Amino acid sequence: MVSISNDGVQQPTNGNYQNGVIMASTNGLDNKTRFLILYASQTGNALDAAERVGREAEHRGCPAVVLSMDESDASSLPCERTVIFIVSTTGQGDTPDSMKVFWKFLLQRTLSQHWLKGVHYAVFGLGDSGYQKFNFAAKKLDKRLSDLGAEPLIEKGLGNDQHPSGYEGALDDWLSSLWKVLKKNPNILLREINDVDPDTETLDCPKYKVIYHDADSVQSEFVTASELESIELQIERARSMCPGKFGRNKHKPHCFLQMIKNQPLTRVGCGKDVHHFEFEAQSPDIRYQVGDVLEILPSQNPSAVEAFIQRCNLNPDLYITVQPNGTENGNPNLTSDALSDPVKLRTFVELTMDVASASPRRYFFEIMRLFATEDREKEKLQYFASPEGRDDLYQYNQRERRTVIEILEDFPSVQLPFEWLVQLVPPLKTRAFSISSSPLAHPNQVHLAVSVVSWSTPFKRKRWGLCSTWLAGLNPEGRIHIPVWFNRGSLPPPSPSLPLVLIGPGTGCAPFRAFIAERALQSTSEPTAPILFFFGCRNEENDFLYRDFWLSHAECGGVLSKEKGGGFFVAFSRDQPQKIYVQHKMEEEGRRVWSMLSSGAAVYIAGSSTKMPADVMSYIEKIVAKEGGVPLESSVRWLRALEKAGKYHVEAWS
């Protein structure tokens, strides 16, 4: 870290405490004296919160280690003295991917109730109270740690995206309580916890350093590579330089696709804009299965990238290498896969830094205030970074979805070094979409149904989704190379003999188009089980997605036809005065739904993550109770058993 002197000049510091800045080194620390922070993040919020806890610990004189759960060894937990867990909840109460192995270990029955005796812990969860299982992952973890004998330092904290300040509305108070407990009980950490002077301005050391290369000295492999090889090489190099931002094995694309069809599925002006996309693989060896998701790396608007480069006074033609700057909050394991492979600065920005669609974190403003040279701007940024300004910052930043470019333009005196921009600008993330095609029915192709995202902020600023807008604007004749990754989704592919009850309103129908296309092909060579499919949209004339496809399979002995034991039911929510949704259609067909369930059918639900999955589950519980002739409590237990048996699956997105 360095301190900022009164004249704004950065002064390096040495030792444990200088100029109001606490210095701490975690090298050589044993597990009993370090402050371990383990996080499980799906979108980056838990990582951001964990790094904040680590920074505050270091400022208070407590060496901290911040690790993702998939980088830690759960079996070593008894060797720790103090562990802080920062955990997000994803989907319908699921643990993040990085937590799954860790959590599975903790659930072992061989672990005794005294296994974690002597370990002090605290849990902070990040969730959304709009979901049925609010902060479920954090609640489960807190209970399991307690059951294993660990001692809680404070009550678990539950961050809520619905709070006027987002998850930080709970994090501020939770952290304050944590430091008070640790200061009052120095024997817990075997050291004193220092107070932090709020008037002392401190600047941490950036996590990354940027090495600049002379273009003439760079022996570029791009010259001899083909166009596709050159694009792949640039993506791999650029994205591998920021290992803390991207998931493992996400540097090199699985393959490249070219769009061959871009077809609107909704009527123009109806209030929804959904497109059907078809892509063809550039190589014949793509592999995926129904239920998988396709992750796409979107292209940023070149003018936005140029505006960012100009605003930050960067030279886009310089070749750079980005490397970890020593250790990350005491984690010596942070390494880069491409330390010696430079790329152009412009390429790095284009492929790794989301400069014009995502909003930065609170820490962005904390660092900006230290580089502001104009008094009014500095005062405003100091207010935003303070507890008093937290709600206003949330309104200014997250609620308005202000971009990095917009914020930098609002504070023209701030000139952030590129090292800090690399760390603070939100990463350019891949976007995941449910695949709507079957590899059996459409070999060497991938289909998607994508809703073009747009909305207005509280101050009536128009915003557009980066990836969906980019895809919708592509011309299939342009032969654009689109980098993609295939991944397992939340909907496992069903065997041909498994009866299915599918519920997919809106673009939630996408994976079920793939299911039905595949089963239709399977039915030509082997016996297949029936399918009930419940689809919902607003209007029959405006947004009846894939209408001809569903109707063709619901007639003439198709897999959705009554002759085959199946059925296709549509809820048009706004074609009559009283709104009708998929759950209402399910209730109308309750006897058929129960007949399928009682004969061993699996339930698959896909679509919006707000109320729909919970409402559908509630109606299925009512159907089971009514048609099965059992009390509602029994139907609830029956449905939970269906979940445990792997026959109730939900894929939801916000």
Give the closest residue to 584 by CA, choosing from 615, 628, 552.
615
Contact between 573 and 538 under an 8 Å Cβ cutoff? The reply is yes
- Classify 32 as helix, strand or coil: coil
Burial of 413 (0-12, 13-18, 19+ CB in 10 A): middle
- 345 assigned ligand-binding residue: no
- 267 assigned ligand-binding residue: no
Contact between 208 and 242 under an 8 Å Cβ cutoff? The reply is yes
Distance CA 229, CA 231 (A): 6
- 134 assigned ligand-binding residue: no
Number of CB atoms found within 10 A of residue 177's CB = 15
Phi and psi for 634 in degrees, rounded to 5? -70, -35
- 346 assigned ligand-binding residue: no
Contact between 241 and 512 under an 8 Å Cβ cutoff? The reply is no
- 469 assigned ligand-binding residue: no
- 582 assigned ligand-binding residue: yes
- 44 assigned ligand-binding residue: yes
- 580 assigned ligand-binding residue: yes
Q: Both tokens of residue 548?
A: 């001809």
Give the closest residue to 425 by CA, choosing from 367, 485, 467, 378.
367
- 431 assigned ligand-binding residue: yes
Distance CA 609, CA 503 (A): 13
- 90 assigned ligand-binding residue: yes
- 61 assigned ligand-binding residue: no
Which residues are registered as beta bridge partners of 11? 3
- 434 assigned ligand-binding residue: yes
- 482 assigned ligand-binding residue: no
Which residues are registered as beta bridge partners of 85? 38, 123
Q: Both tokens of residue 442?
A: 């459409």
Q: Map tokens 């090292």 to a residue.
A: 419
- 432 assigned ligand-binding residue: yes
- 100 assigned ligand-binding residue: no
CA atoms within 13 A on the CB side of 71: 20
Contact between 602 and 501 under an 8 Å Cβ cutoff? The reply is yes
Give the closest residue to 534 by CA, choosing from 511, 502, 579.
502
- 43 assigned ligand-binding residue: yes
Distance CA 314, CA 309 (A): 5
- 45 assigned ligand-binding residue: yes
- 46 assigned ligand-binding residue: yes
Burial of 130 (0-12, 13-18, 19+ CB in 10 A): middle
- 415 assigned ligand-binding residue: no
β-pairing, 293-296 vs 531-537, is unpaired
- 356 assigned ligand-binding residue: no
The crossing angle, in degrees rounded to 10, of helices 345-352 and 227-240 is 80
Q: Map tokens 């090489």 to a residue.
A: 233
Give the closest residue to 30 by CA, choosing from 82, 69, 106.
82
- 176 assigned ligand-binding residue: no
* DSSP one-letter code for 427: B
Distance CA 169, CA 362 (A): 12
- 161 assigned ligand-binding residue: yes
Q: What count of residues does the chain have?
A: 654
Chain mean position to CA 56: 25
- 449 assigned ligand-binding residue: no
- 386 assigned ligand-binding residue: no
- 401 assigned ligand-binding residue: yes
Contact between 22 and 194 under an 8 Å Cβ cutoff? The reply is yes
Please name the amino acid found at residue 516: I
- 42 assigned ligand-binding residue: yes
Distance CA 186, CA 38 (A): 21
- 321 assigned ligand-binding residue: no
C-alpha separations of 297 from 254, 336, 355, 480, 568 in Å:
11, 20, 14, 12, 35
- 466 assigned ligand-binding residue: yes
Query: How many angstroms separate the first and last alpha carbons of the chain?
Result: 38
Distance CA 405, CA 461 (A): 15
CA angle 207, 333, 420 (to 5 degrees): 10
Give the closest residue to 259 by CA, choosing from 279, 276, 275.
279
Pick out the residues of the known binding site for FAD. 401, 431-434, 465-468, 653
Q: Binding site residues for NADP(+), as ranges?
A: 507, 573-574, 579-583, 615
Annotated binding site: 41-46, 88-91, 161, 401, 431-434, 465-468, 507, 573-574, 579-583, 615, 653
Could you list the residues known to form a binding site for FMN, using ranges: 41-46, 88-91, 161
